[in-house]
Amino acid sequence: MISLLVAMATFALVTSISPGPVNILATVTSANYGYIRTIPHITGATFGFVSILFLLGFGLSQFMTEIPYLAKGMTYIGGGFLLYLAYKVTTQESTIKSKGSVESNAAPSLLQGMMCQWLNPKAWIVSLAGISVFYTGQNTGLEVLLLFCGIFFVVCYLSISVWALLGITISSMIDTPKQFRLFNLSMGLLLGITVLYTFFISS
């Protein structure tokens, strides 16, 4: 049992901490709005991922296997949405007027954080891989699925928070609107690249 827990936690950490659309958005949001206003995005993204994981383990993965074009269609629809977000990040004006002064633009909400996962091809790929490795649904009790979801909830929340704290660190080193525009441009392009890479690995 201990070895299973370690394996699940390791898988969750490696897949959650790696660069991806949700983590990049957490960094951008935290850099522009601060960590507190990034919490809804972190919480929503965590719930969103765990809900995907649970539904796939509960039987959705078999349904998707029987309809192969469904997964591919979801990948392109979700990827298109994330590319739109990349464009919005790239063209976003700085929310920082001066050091310590933040405009009252709306940071991502909890629901938007959930949608970022539900429309994130990487989340579906990782969840499908995790379910196939740790939970087959055959000779495996539901408690194993719930345990896997619980581990992923904790690890995912902490991993996205690490990226948000990176945003705080970056914002402490740049303090002019021009620098923030350059940062947003760089992160938007990085987000776009990660989405295109997801298209490549899922094709």
Q: Total structural domains in the chain?
A: 1
pLDDT at 103 over 60: no
For range 52-79, the mean pLDDT: 73
Q: How many CB atoms lie within 10 A of CB 173?
A: 9
pLDDT of residue 197: 76
Q: Which candidate, 201, 196, 161, 200, places its Cα nearest to that of 86?
A: 196
For range 123-142, the mean pLDDT: 76
pLDDT at 92 over 90: no
pLDDT of residue 98: 43
Nearest 5°: phi and psi at 109?
-90, 175
pLDDT of residue 102: 45
pLDDT of residue 201: 62
User: Binning pLDDT at 50, 70 and 90, where does residue 39 land?
Assistant: very high
User: Binning pLDDT at 50, 70 and 90, where does residue 134 land?
Assistant: confident
Computed from CA positions of residues 82, 83, 86, 87, in that sequence, does the dihedral angle turn out positive or negative?
A: negative
pLDDT of residue 195: 76
pLDDT of residue 24: 92
pLDDT of residue 12: 93
For range 138-159, the mean pLDDT: 86
pLDDT higher at 37 or 95: 37
Place of tokens 């295109």: 196
Place of tokens 């039987």: 59
- Domain of residue 62: give its range: 2-202
For range 12-28, the mean pLDDT: 91
pLDDT of residue 42: 96
Percent of the chain surpassing pLDDT 70: 81
CA–CA gap between residue 147 and residue 190 (Å, rounded): 33
Averaged pLDDT of the chain: 82
For range 46-52, the mean pLDDT: 95
User: Binning pLDDT at 50, 70 and 90, where does residue 67 land?
Assistant: low
